[in-house]
Amino acid sequence: MQYLSDNQNSMETIKLTIDNKEIEVPKGTTILKAAKELGIDIPTLCYMHLEDMNIENKPAGCRICVAEVEGRRNLAPSCSTNCEERMVVKTHTTRVLNARRTVMEFILSDHPKDCLICAKSGNCELQSMAHRLGIREIPGSEYAEMSTYREDTSPSIIRDLDKCIMCRRCEMMCNEVQTVGALSAINRGFMATVAPAFEQNLEHSTCTYCGQCVAVCPTGALTEVNHVPNVLRALADSTKTVIVQTAPAVRVALGEEFGLAPGTLVTGKMTAALRALGFDYVFDTDFAADLTIMEEGTELLDRLSRHLKGDTTARLPILTSCCPGWVNFFEYYFPDLKDVPSTAKSPQQMFGAIAKSYFAEKIGINRKDLVVISIMPCLAKKYECQRDEFSVDGNPDVDYSISTRELASFIKQANIDIKNLHDEEFDSPLGESTGAGVIFGTTGGVIEAACRTAYELYTGKKLERIDFTELRGMEGVRETTLDFNGTPINIGIAHGLGNARKLLNDVRSGKSKYHAIEVMACPGGCIGGGGQPLHHGNSEIIKARAAAIYAEDKNKPLRKSHENPFIIKLYEEFLGKPNSEKAHHLLHTQYFDKKKKIIIKH
């Protein structure tokens, strides 16, 4: 007998029987969860529960998880049916197995049969379920009509709604978790699907490209735009020097695509693989993260000290601005607060700007012959590097961004046996980073990195404790007050745009008490990004990646951005000092009002 801790408040428990096994569970437990405790894994399709993030999708729509309940005429969806006293449940009678097969056949009868060339093949929950259920034919497929829709490509996300099974996960993420509301279920019956308003293209909606819809889609309906062919072309072009930068969140997840356990750190192997792919220089976005801290930390301290002196023009709180999904969000929903976020560019973009100026000069190459590729856990980065302001005379600072998933595919295509490569190091000078740069990959990491530097620069004292554990964790909104040698600094942290909205509403109404707020659009931070290996609903994977990030940080000899000797050199040789005219021109940006306006005819 097992006790579940789902419902701590009500200690009222229920005894029931599942597959002839007795179990006692707290009131409110579903059949699905109770069965799991007994080691019975009832198959599910639309159901998804990211437990550590409090995100649950249970529309009871697919009917795959049905089970027989004695005394009930119809089969019950186990994900949404609560256990009752003396209930007798059977999870694999002939009736259940037949029903489940029939449900599956119906779903597949209106689904394209292109597994061989689908981007999700091998990683598709529908495909896995068809395999698990032993489907060998789809009755009526010779004459059955299929519901087809116009395909839609945006800078980051491809929508192929022929493959949608109406699980509603994307709609739930977009509306309930991210509160962006770009997607909604539309129409009814056969033509029911999920689309942006007026079935316009995603790029004309309020989509922020956070990619959380892609991260949870069980089929090939939502996938990322694939830039691997562009990267391949650049590598094959002998007139180009191709540089790659890798985000921190990539190295703690890439291994999963090759069967390694979640949270396995593959930094050295990733670097070796990138070199084997033919990149001329393998650099590290973490270097640019250290640079971001220098610029943003300076900005924070400037606003803070002016504020403490009574300067009312000093805008607080300062908001982090490295997340392009988050930037899109506040440009759509909070353009009135455009002057609140930091003006610092993201590490990806700072890297591109420095690579195509400082580094290009160093190796004597024209920026037009330099191609900068980024490997990101993120789909919004594909959009970010195309923003007009991030280019010089039409030449972008970052040419293409590819996701962790695309990199894994590329490595497989190139026959590189990554698991057996010897660890290699990043190249210099844009590959050297401190632990503060690494922790950018997880929620709380950016602000912790900023505090490590801000504390020492503000107080002039050395930090006794480098690990700001009070800033860490998975709760959606976190807050703490740090003591900067007598000055209390209030920090707010949000991950998931819905949580960010809460903090922004307070900033707008003047109620916000924070000096600095870190926002990451994706639940978990970048480690849970839209371009990462799919978690298929298991939040333990995200937690394992976070643990690996902090482990890499701890093992670094240098853990504060301002101590990075190559950053110090960059300022001495090239930029002068943080927010110098040159630094401001290369490393800072502005934001735009993208709020949808009602047009009135006069």
Partner 1 sequence: MSHIKIDLRKEDVDFIKGVCASYNNDTQELINVLHSCQEHFGYLPAEVQEVVSEGLNVPVAKVYGVVTFYSFFTMTPKGKHPISICLGTACYVRGAEKVLDEFKKELGIQVGESTQDNKFSLSSLRCVGACGLAPVVLVGDKTYGRVAPDDVKGILKEYE
| Interface residue list for partner 1 (CB under 8 A) | 175, 180-188, 195-199, 205-206, 596, 598-602
Q: How many CB atoms lie within 10 A of CB 516?
A: 25
> What gap in Å lies between CA 426 and CA 496, rounded to an integer?
31
CB of 195 to partner 1, least distance (A): 7
Catalytic, 68? Answer: no
Return the number of the residue (186 or 463) whose C-beta is nearest partner 1: 186
Q: What is the Cβ-side half-sphere exposure of residue 69, based on CA atoms within 13 angstroms?
A: 21
Question: Among this protein's residues, is 299 annotated catalytic?
Answer: yes
Active-site residue (options: 68, 299, 406, 518):
299
CA separation (Å) from 258 to 42, 218, 255, 278? 27, 20, 5, 20
- The CA-to-CA distance between both ends of the chain, in Å, stands at 72
**Exactly one of 345, 381, 382, 543 is catalytic; which is it?**
381
Which residue's CB is nearer to partner 1, number 173 or number 243? 173
Smallest gap, in angstroms, from Cβ of residue 337 to partner 1? Answer: 18
For tokens 């097969």, name the residue. Answer: 101
Q: Which of residues 465 and 602 has its CB atom nearest to partner 1 in the complex?
A: 602
Virtual torsion, Cα 560, 399, 386, 427, nearest 10 deg? 0
The pairing of beta strand 157-159 with beta strand 152-153: antiparallel
d(CA 513, CA 509): 11
Residue-by-residue DSSP string for 501-535: HHHHHHHHHT----SEEEEESSTTSGGG-TTSPP-
Residue in 78, 156, 321, 342 annotated catalytic:
342
Smallest gap from Cβ 208 to partner 1, in A, equals 13
CB-nearer residue toward partner 1: 180 or 216: 180
Minimum separation from the CB atom of position 523 to partner 1 (A): 19
Please state the closest distance from residue 188 (CB atom) to partner 1, in A: 5
Active site residue 595: no
Q: Active site residue: 403, 512, 526, 539, which one?
A: 526
The reply to whether 389 belongs to the active site is yes
Catalytic residue selected from 322, 385, 451, 522: 322
CA distance 323 to 11: 43
Name the 3-class secondary structure at 315. Answer: coil
State the nearest-atom distance from the C-beta of 524 to partner 1, in Å. 24
Q: Smallest distance, Å, CB 457 to partner 1?
A: 42
70 tagged catalytic: no
Nearer to partner 1, 194 or 493 (CB): 194
Active site residue 85: no
Distance in angstroms (rounded) separating the CA atoms of residues 466 and 448: 9
For residue 445, what are the CA distances in angstroms to 10, 221, 243, 524?
A: 36, 32, 26, 11
Q: How far is Cα 210 from Cα 323, in angstroms, rounded to an integer?
A: 9
Residue placing its CB nearer to partner 1 in the complex, 11 or 598 = 598
Closest separation in Å from C-beta 77 to partner 1: 22
Measure Cα distances from 580 to 83, 304, 572 in Å.
65, 19, 12
- Which of these is catalytic: 68, 384, 406, 432? 384
Largest alpha-carbon pair distance within the chain? 80
Nearest to partner 1 of 69, 182 (CB atom) = 182
Closest to partner 1 by CB, 333 vs 458, is 333
Annotated catalytic residue: which of 125, 256, 257, 296? 296
**Is 526 designated active site?**
yes
DSSP character string of 200-263: --GGGTT-----HHHHH-SSTTEEE---HHHHHHHHH-TT-EEEEEE-HHHHTTGGGGGTPPTT
Using alpha carbons, select from 354, 520, 510 the residue that is nearest to residue 439.
520
Of the pair 26, 196, the CB lying nearest partner 1 is at 196
Check if the beta carbon of residue 594 is closer than 8 Å to that of residue 328: yes
Count of C-beta atoms within a 10 Å radius of residue 55: 22
Q: Quick one: 261 or 598, whose CB is closer to partner 1? A: 598
Kindly state the smallest distance separating residue 213's Cβ from partner 1, in Å.
12
Residue 342: active-site member: yes
| Overall residue count recorded for the chain in this entry | 602
Smallest separation, CB 179 to partner 1 (Å): 9
Alpha helices in 415-496 (DSSP H): 435-438, 445-459
Catalytic residues: 296, 299, 322, 342, 381, 384, 389, 526
